[in-house]
A and B are shown apart, each in its own frame.
Chain A
Amino acid sequence: EAGVAQSPRYKIIEKRQSVAFWCNPISGHATLYWYQQILGQGPKLLIQFQNNGVVDDSQLPKDRFSAERLKGVDSTLKIQPAKLEDSAVYLCASSLALGRYYGYTFGSGTRLTVV
């Protein structure tokens, strides 16, 4: 079974620039999550999708972050404009369904450095 694919693996941008991350979940997984992990901290949920609908985006800084999952499969997370404090690893995870814990599979993440 193919895992969760993320790209790019690394990205370095200057503050105020924009950046986009891509995630392809495991085939058939309806639920997709984006987490932000700042160095020395645990991952923090940014947004949760069920198919192409948003279930929870309460911790997404909506003034600069946006995410979509138009066809209920791939997802993109965008930051515009980036700030220094956005430097982190952005992890995508997918799960079979909502309603209970079906187990997560995480992608290997995108490491963002804002300079």
Chain B
Amino acid sequence: RKEVEQDPGPFNVPEGATVAFNCTYSNSASQSFFWYRQDCRKEPKLLMSVYSSGNEDGRFTAQLNRASQYISLLIRDSKLSDSATYLCVVINAGGTSYGKLTFGQGTILTVHP
């Protein structure tokens, strides 16, 4: 079983739509969680951290369910510029390797006019 699993999509949605991505992780000791965004032929960039209480940044809402080992990202009022690959990322606890990012395979989102 992969350490971090995502639905690869692709998700094709019209502008203005609400879309949700899910991610599961296998290591119950995982400590920190993030969503990264990767544009075509570009490097990954941090979109937002994910906290147990849930957090929101504008049109983006991230939630964490530790009991189910599940992370989600909700995008409201989708824009054309939201088209990208969204990577679920986990950091596991553990000594000097803390800080190592483990990535899911990514979910492709295409927003069309």
Q: Is the CB of A104 within 8 A of B87?
A: no
Per-residue A-contact encoding for B72-89, CB less than 8 Å = 1, 0 else: 000000000000000100
Q: Is the CB of A104 within 8 A of B103?
A: no
Give the distance in Å from the alpha carbon of A100 to the alpha carbon of B8 in the complex: 29
Q: Is the CB of A43 within 8 A of B103?
A: yes
Per-residue B-contact encoding for A78-115, CB less than 8 Å = 1, 0 else: 00000000000001000100111111101111010000
Give the distance in Å from the alpha carbon of A48 to the alpha carbon of B32 in the complex: 18
Residue B102 CB within 8 A of the other chain: yes
Which listed residue (B42, B44, B98) contacts A100, Cβ 8 A? Answer: B98
Q: A100-B99, A102-B99 are in contact. Are A108 and B43 (CB under 8 A)?
A: yes
Which listed residue (A48, A56, A109) contacts B43, Cβ 8 A? Answer: A109
Give the distance in Å from the alpha carbon of A94 to the alpha carbon of B100 in the complex: 11
Give the distance in Å from the alpha carbon of A43 to the alpha carbon of B43 in the complex: 10
Q: A104-B46, A107-B43 are in contact. Are A50 and B96 (CB under 8 A)?
A: yes
Question: What's the interface size class on A, roughly?
Answer: 20 to 34
Give the distance in Å from the alpha carbon of A55 to the alpha carbon of B104 in the complex: 22
Chain B residue with minimal CB distance to A31? B99
Q: Is the CB of A55 within 8 A of B106?
A: no
Residue B97 CB within 8 A of the other chain: yes
Q: A106-B44, A107-B43 are in contact. Are A99 and B105 (CB under 8 A)?
A: no
A67 → chain B closest CB, angstroms: 15
Residue B48 CB within 8 A of the other chain: no
Q: A40-B8, A107-B43 are in contact. Are A95 and B99 (CB under 8 A)?
A: yes
18 A-B contacts (beta carbon < 8 Å): A33-B100, A40-B8, A40-B106, A41-B105, A42-B4, A42-B87, A42-B105, A42-B106, A43-B44, A43-B87, A43-B103, A45-B102, A91-B44, A95-B99, A98-B99, A106-B43, A106-B45, A108-B42
Interface residues of A (CB under 8 A from B): 31, 33, 40-45, 48, 50, 55-56, 91, 95, 98-104, 106-109, 111
